[in-house]
Amino acid sequence: MTNRDILLAKLKAEADRDINIRALFAAEPDRLSRFVMREGPLRADFSKQALDKQGLDALLDLAAKCDLEEWRAKLFAGERVNTSEDRAVLHMALRGVGGTAENQKEVAEMRAHMAAYANAVREDGKFKNIVHIGIGGSDLGPRLVADALEAAAEQSLTLRFAENVDGASVNDAIKGLDPAETLAVVVSKSFGTQETKMNGESVRDWLGEFGSKNMIAVTANRDRAENFGIAAENIFDFWDWVGGRYSVWSAVGLSLQIAYGADVFAEFLDGAKAMDLHFRDQPLQENLPVMMALVSVWNRNGLGYGSQAVIPYARRLRKFSAFLQQLEMESNGKSATREGKATGLTCPVIWGDEGTNGQHAFFQWLHQGPSEGRYGGAPVDFVAVLKDHEDRPAHHAALLANCFAQSEALMLGKDEAVVRAENAERADIDALAPQKTFPGNRPSTTLTLDELSPTALGHLIALYEHKVFVQGVIWNVNSFDQWGVELGKVLANTILDEMGAGETGDHDPSTTALMGMV
């Protein structure tokens, strides 16, 4: 066993005791003040986690012994913390934090280019629509932010997205639009991603005579973009030190700037910058992303939970769970360490949906379902926005009431004795009582935003980015590569070529039979 394995085993032993969350409030009068943290417009309440002071001390000790502070310094200094690809990781530089003078010069030039272009498009008025073409990090981040910005910013152009290779995606994106009034933004780091390339070609064909004028590209591969037919002056760069799932802050967000304005996008960047500085400068015990990560490690490695639910009680954040699936599971869904050795438990499954929809779907399992985790169900991150942006105060009050009630219900539960007292007249009480009993003691964190402003949104996304980094340090995995996505893509290209040629190639019997059906 490595020293890290020993440390995680000690953490598991520390967590192997019965902890009652409700009892912690009685035993720790200052619990709320110690387990609530705030940075700017974002407040995080960890007090409903099955974690006491003793457990938190063990987690902080684990972080220190995993050299978290040293790794954090390397990240912001621009050292090559993406070891398998020998790259620095500097998405924070897109927000004005970290990196070299050369990095900052490149970023400043690109931000000026983006702002000038966005302003020109908005002022010209020729374009009424934007079709953003990308997938993965080139789609999830912009799509999440586009939804969220509608709460507090006015959208000047219609913004649609084409991501899936399914023809329905591109058809839905262009339906009812006029090619003469539509700007297509093709976003691909390599400019070779199958889905983006096919959707780009389909939109280019749909644009017809406007194809060469109404398309721009965001890429790290200028040659491919130019070969596709996009003019050099309409190509916006981003760099190999920006991972796709961390790229919404770059020119990947150009569609957002055009739709909502450069000033709104700058506020979004500034919100993330504030969280960057907090993460960089605050000691571990007062550091919000560190606390988020340590709670997750406690639930995963200590309490044994295999999944984590994220429930935004805000329709404008309905893509947040999907965004985090990529951010967390692509980053830390690894079973090999930086040195190529086997890991222990790493990233849990991330899942969820918007509240209150989930209450009528999977909350049954959250409240009463079994789990491999110590207390059943799965830990939940609730995300709520305190300000009503929809001018429907009654709706908003009901939304928040549901959010707050669910976290309380997960913690408190309902004892069988109470159920029996409430249903004493029932002849079938012995069968019914266990079915209506809620075990409770199920952990959750509640994140609240004062309002869904661009600044608050930047805080929220950067919080989870840094959480992922801290987890990766503790688990000793490289959070910035994604080799696991490659094999299926390679095989898909092979199968596509064979299907086009009427061949089946050398495959297993099941795959061969499936190909023969087409």
Arithmetic mean of pLDDT over the chain:
95
Residue 310 in any domain: the answer is yes
Q: Is 70 a catalytic residue?
A: no
Q: Which two tokens stand for residue 388?
A: 């009503």
Residue 81 in any domain: the answer is no
pLDDT for res 125: 94
Do 378 and 232 lie in one domain? The reply is: no
User: What Cα–Cα distance (Å) separates residue 310 from each residue in 275, 321, 323, 482?
Assistant: 20, 6, 11, 22
- From 236, 267, 298, the end of a domain falls on 267
Do 251 and 108 lie in one domain? The reply is: yes
Residues across the chain: 518
Contact 210, 201 (CB under 8 A): no
3-class SS string, 92-131: HHHHCCCCCHHHHHHHHHHHHHHHHHHHHHHHHCCCCEEE
pLDDT for res 355: 95
Domain of 131, in residue numbers: 91-267
For tokens 């709460």, name the residue. Answer: 151
Q: What is the CATH number of the domain that holds 409?
A: 3.40.50.10490
Specify the 3-state DSSP secondary structure of 183. strand
Residue 243 in any domain: the answer is yes
How many domains does one find in the chain? 2
Q: Which of 106, 195, 330, 354 is catalytic?
A: 330
Residue 502 in any domain: the answer is no
Do 214 and 350 lie in one domain? The reply is: no
Question: Exposed (0-12), middle (13-18) or buried (19+): which is 477, by Cβ within 10 Å?
Answer: buried
Specify the 3-state DSSP secondary structure of 310. strand
- From 241, 267, 293, the end of a domain falls on 267
For the stretch 54-100, pLDDT in tens is 999 999 999 999 999 999 999 999 999 999 999 999 999 999 999 88
Do 402 and 341 lie in one domain? The reply is: yes
Contact 128, 156 (CB under 8 A): no
Do 101 and 213 lie in one domain? The reply is: yes
Tens place of pLDDT for every residue, the chain, 518 residues? 688 889 899 999 999 999 999 999 999 999 999 999 999 999 999 999 999 999 999 999 999 999 999 999 999 999 999 999 999 999 999 999 998 899 999 999 999 999 999 999 999 999 999 999 999 999 999 999 999 999 989 888 999 999 999 999 999 999 999 999 999 999 998 898 899 999 999 999 999 999 889 999 999 999 999 999 999 999 999 888 999 999 999 999 999 999 999 999 999 999 999 999 999 999 999 999 999 999 999 999 999 999 999 999 999 999 999 999 999 999 999 999 999 999 999 999 999 999 999 999 999 999 999 877 899 999 999 999 999 999 999 999 999 999 999 999 999 999 999 999 999 999 999 999 999 999 999 999 999 999 999 999 999 999 999 999 999 999 999 999 999 988 888 888 899 888 888 888 889 999 988 888 88
Backbone angle region of 381, left / alpha / beta, with phi > 0 → left and psi within -120 to 50 → alpha: beta
- What is the distance between the alpha carbons of residues 45 and 35, in angstroms, rounded to a whole number? 6
Do 365 and 263 lie in one domain? The reply is: no
Q: Is 367 a catalytic residue?
A: no
Contact 122, 176 (CB under 8 A): no
Residue 394 in any domain: the answer is yes
pLDDT for res 113: 93
Do 121 and 259 lie in one domain? The reply is: yes
Do 222 and 114 lie in one domain? The reply is: yes
Residue 127 in any domain: the answer is yes
Q: Is 74 a catalytic residue?
A: no
Sign of torsion, CA 423 424 430 431?
Answer: negative
Q: Which of 209, 360, 425, 486 is catalytic?
A: 360
Could you please report the per-residue DSSP string of 1-19? --HHHHHHHHHHHHH-S--
Do 58 and 127 lie in one domain? The reply is: no
- From 240, 267, 294, the end of a domain falls on 267
Do 256 and 306 lie in one domain? The reply is: no
Residue 491 in any domain: the answer is no
Helix residue ranges per DSSP H, 230-338: 254-260, 262-281, 288-297, 320-324, 331-332
Do 423 and 376 lie in one domain? The reply is: yes
pLDDT for res 1: 67
Do 328 and 211 lie in one domain? The reply is: no
Residue 80 in any domain: the answer is no
